[in-house]
Amino acid sequence: MWMQACLLLVAQQAPAASIELVESWPSGTTLDQAELPDAWQVWIEMIDGARRTVNLGHFYAVDEGSSRLTKVIEALERAGKRGVKLRFLVEKNFRGASEATLERLSKIEGLELRRLDSKAAYGAGIMHAKYMLVDGEQCFLGSQNFDWRSLEHIQELGVRVRSASFCAPIERLFEADWARALDQTAPLPPNAEPVEPQTALFRGENVRIQPLASPEERVGSAQWDLPRIREAIRSAKRSVDVQVMTYRMTDRSKRYFEELEGELKAAAARGVEVRLLVADWCKRKGTIEGLQAIEPLEHLAVRMVTIPVAERGFIPYARVIHAKYMVVDGETAWLGTSNWERDYFYESRNCGVFVEGRSFGGELQRFFDRGWSSPYAAPVDPKAAYEAPRIGD
């Protein structure tokens, strides 16, 4: 009886799992959602609260001057000084990384930095996921890169999840990629068992959350996100809303990526209202043609978002919508790090979360609707001759 009472007390004191939507937004626009916390502040709070470990997996790292990201780096420096073990993993093959930023990170007390050569380690793809794990108890994942622009000049969306069981599969991904960054022959972990959805609180209401990732050969079919996304679209009765930076169904080898577009077309054909919101970076040749081809379909609409130039002037690789998520019938949602192109699901490391519940789905639906009806969004014209926007230097 005494032991049972102790176990019951521990269970009652254990914090409930929770999930929180977290945004970043381009300064000078009306895209800020006041009810959502800002990513840079959440990152600092998580790092400042770390007691043992902080593991970060990112595509790249770049800071400029004194920015919101600078404050995040300062939080990592504080964590290192109080004895927190810090590990930072980045993709080796991305040219946009800042050597000065990586050098500063590498000098942080208690921080080890590794660069993953994905092509050498796995034969293809890149490390495109963006996540942070703190003490094995909470996780942040989303579209935000470790980039000062992501926190100040780009629309992004992520989640903060408090749950050790949710973190565990993502920790395994981190450990596998961390080992491969040092030794390209390091064994991959065996295919894990399915990660069952668990109950979590979102604004006081219960939802079901499940971590997913890609590509299949590195996570196993049970944790691969692509089939789960397709299944959700297939189940749609009223609506499917998708926002990604880029949507391209034909890759460089001219292979047609039918899996997602086929589901969207099938949903529209049975009367489901399908809306696709993408960045104006999709005006580029080789991408815009696919959007122009599907826009005329009945029950399927496509809009592109153009973010005005910042007050300070043009900023390379910024002023864009970069969030990646889907909401079905206002109830079922996917949020992740993958653009909707074949390589992101079949070759590159990405991760995400699947959420079932009206409270979360409804909030994500409202986020989408605000972007869809914003003054920055315009319908794709199937007959227009689009000029690609200025993106880089």
Residues of the chain with pLDDT under 70: 1-14, 191-192
Residue-level pLDDT at 234: 98
DSSP string for residues in 301-337: EEEEE-PPPBTTB--TT-SEE---EEEETTTEEEEES
pTM: 0.94
**CA 17 distance to own-chain centroid:** 20
In sequence order, which residues have a C-beta less than 8 Å from that of residue 218 and are 6 or more positions away? 122, 173, 176, 188, 349
What are 211's two structure tokens?
Answer: 């971590």
What are 26's two structure tokens?
Answer: 């381009």
Q: Return the biggest CA–CA distance within the chain.
A: 76
Q: What gap in Å lies between CA 329 and CA 267, rounded to an integer? A: 12
pLDDT tens for each residue of 250-287: 988 888 999 999 999 999 999 999 999 999 999 999 99
Residue-level pLDDT at 191: 65
Q: Which residue segments constitute the domains of the chain, with CATH numbers given? A: 17-379 (3.30.870.10)
Residue-level pLDDT at 192: 62
pLDDT tens for each residue of 4-25: 544 444 444 557 999 999 999 9
Check: CB of residue 251 under 8 Å from CB of residue 357: no
pLDDT tens for each residue of 322-356: 999 999 999 999 999 999 999 999 999 999 999 99
